[in-house]
Amino acid sequence: MSRIAVREMDAAVDCPACGAPGVGGLDGCRAMLGRVGEREFSDPEYFRAHRLTVDAYSLQHPEQFMESSKSAAAHLAGMCWSMERGRSIHLPAPLKCWVDGPRKYACVTPPPPRARGTITVVDVVGAEDAAEHERRVEAWAQSAWAAWSDHWAQARAWVKEALEESRANT
Ligand SMILES: [Zn+2]
């Protein structure tokens, strides 16, 4: 088989983590994220969606981005905050303190869901403008968050803990 044929076969492979169709496996999927990230870093209007992008991608690729209980807690609690308390460009201060604080997470890394959401990074690439990009990332994040519904109670408990700690420290 020629090299080109092999490459074409690879390109048809779905991402084994998020299920993105025909992206060329995990590497191809990661390259898609790279394109999205480049766009977000090149334009402040696009950058507004960046934190949601990182959490959505992480929730759909927990084997790569949520391996430690700290990163699992950070992405789950971060997404929970975005979905239920409002969007922000940077991680809200109480959550940042909580994530960076000297703690041992009481909970081990939660077992990730098998279905990770029907909207993936391929649906986000190539938006016409920043507003459309934001809408696409929003839909993507909703999809990823919904897939983790078994873990919402844990995520909410972490957010609550962060808020309580923040209040206790002021
Ligand atoms: Zn993927």
Residues of the domain holding 94: 3-168
CA of 103 to the centre of ligand 1 (A): 30
CA of 160 to the centre of ligand 1 (A): 30
CA of 49 to the centre of ligand 1 (A): 18
Number of H helices and E strands in the chain, helices first, is: 9, 0
CA of 98 to the centre of ligand 1 (A): 28
CA of 101 to the centre of ligand 1 (A): 30
Work out how many domains the chain is built from and give that number.
1
CA of 168 to the centre of ligand 1 (A): 39
Query: Can you tell me the distance from the alpha carbon of 63 to that of 3, in angstroms, rounded to the nearest whole number?
Result: 30
Nearest to 133 by CA among 29, 23, 48: 48
CA of 14 to the centre of ligand 1 (A): 8
What's the pLDDT score for residue 21? Answer: 95
pTM (whole model) above 0.85: yes
Contact predicate 110/154, CB 8 Å: yes
pLDDT in tens, 39-49: 999 999 999 99
Nearest to 109 by CA among 136, 140, 73: 73
DSSP for 56-71 reads HHHHH-HHHHS-SHHH
Place of tokens 């109670």: 153
Contact predicate 119/146, CB 8 Å: no
CA of 164 to the centre of ligand 1 (A): 35
What's the pLDDT score for residue 57? Answer: 98
Which parts of the chain register pLDDT below 70? 1-11, 103-110
For 131-147, letters b (16+ CB in 10 Å) and e give eebbebbbbbbebbbbb
CA of 120 to the centre of ligand 1 (A): 7
